[in-house]
Amino acid sequence: MRSQHKSNPNNRAIFGIFLILFGCLLVLKNLDFIPYELRHIIFSWPSLLLGLGALFFFGKEDKTTGVALMTVGGLFLLPTIFDWSFDWRGLFWPIMLIAIGVVVIRKRNVCEFDKRSEVGFDSDYIDELNIFGGGEKVINNKNFRGGKVTCIFGGTELNLSNAALSEGTNVIDIFTMFGSCVLIVPSDWDVKVEVSAILGGVSDKRMSTTNYIVEPKKELIIRGTVALGGCEIKSYK
């Protein structure tokens, strides 16, 4: 029987509050209660990044993505607020690259710590990094414990059809930005999808497992963040 993802109630509450606040701001704007000089600050892409960053900061255990988004949004919001004459638009990509680098290093360090603390070696883990490139890989490991997938301006396809899960909870941590990740998992695996999307999409296309019996005490959690990209999980009968 296929597992259904159960969202954290706190995440739902925070996202609901975010939508309510944004809706209230739109109402105030349409009723002309917001001064004109503040509209281009509140309704701008740096403010959107700041709001999304706050959403991820308070709704996720890993604060790295939230801090990176709030930092980028805040840096580009400051010149607008204080009316600085310096043109910050030329710093967009350098700042974005720095933020992406911090996220990649932070997530890699967390992944390495988890692997050392659990087994002391990483032969049963994957660690895929695709930047301005991509590829396809078939995983045949019979004691698969999860790992990490990072795609930035690139993509990857991982075929786990012939792999077997290790006992317990196994986690694949995904981070994609301007990229995509495709995971092909066996139909009889107990899989939970906990991937958040920022201006991107997450598609769960796994087939029904009516004729399959899920192995007890074995599960795979697919979690992470997709920003301006996509993630697809599918299976074959």
Residue 21 lies inside a defined structural domain of this protein: yes
Mean model confidence pLDDT for the chain = 77
Split into its structural domains, the chain has a count of 2
Helix (H) or strand (E) run with residue 181 in it: strand 180-184
**Do 89 and 138 reside in the same domain of the chain?**
no
The whole domain housing 54 covers 9-101
Task: Provide the 8-state DSSP code for 204.
Answer: E
Residue 25 has pLDDT above 90, yes or no: no
Interatomic CA distance for residues 103 and 217, integer angstroms: 32
**Do 91 and 129 reside in the same domain of the chain?**
no
**Do 95 and 168 reside in the same domain of the chain?**
no
Residue 34 has pLDDT above 70, yes or no: yes
**Do 161 and 211 reside in the same domain of the chain?**
yes
Interatomic CA distance for residues 106 and 223, integer angstroms: 16
Residue 153 lies inside a defined structural domain of this protein: yes
List phi, psi (to 5°) of 163: -90, 165
What does DSSP say about strands 134-138 and 155-159: parallel, antiparallel, or unpaired? parallel
Residue 107 lies inside a defined structural domain of this protein: no
Residue 57 has pLDDT above 90, yes or no: no
Residue 110 lies inside a defined structural domain of this protein: no
Average pLDDT over residues 20-49: 84
**Do 203 and 127 reside in the same domain of the chain?**
yes
Residue 7 has pLDDT above 60, yes or no: no
**Do 84 and 136 reside in the same domain of the chain?**
no
Average pLDDT over residues 162-167: 90
Interatomic CA distance for residues 18 and 223, integer angstroms: 22
pLDDT-derived band of residue 4, with 50, 70 and 90 as boundaries?
very low
> Tell me: the pLDDT tens digits for 104-140?
676 655 555 454 444 434 468 888 888 778 888 899 8
pLDDT-derived band of residue 75, with 50, 70 and 90 as boundaries?
confident
Residue 106 lies inside a defined structural domain of this protein: no
Residue 27 lies inside a defined structural domain of this protein: yes
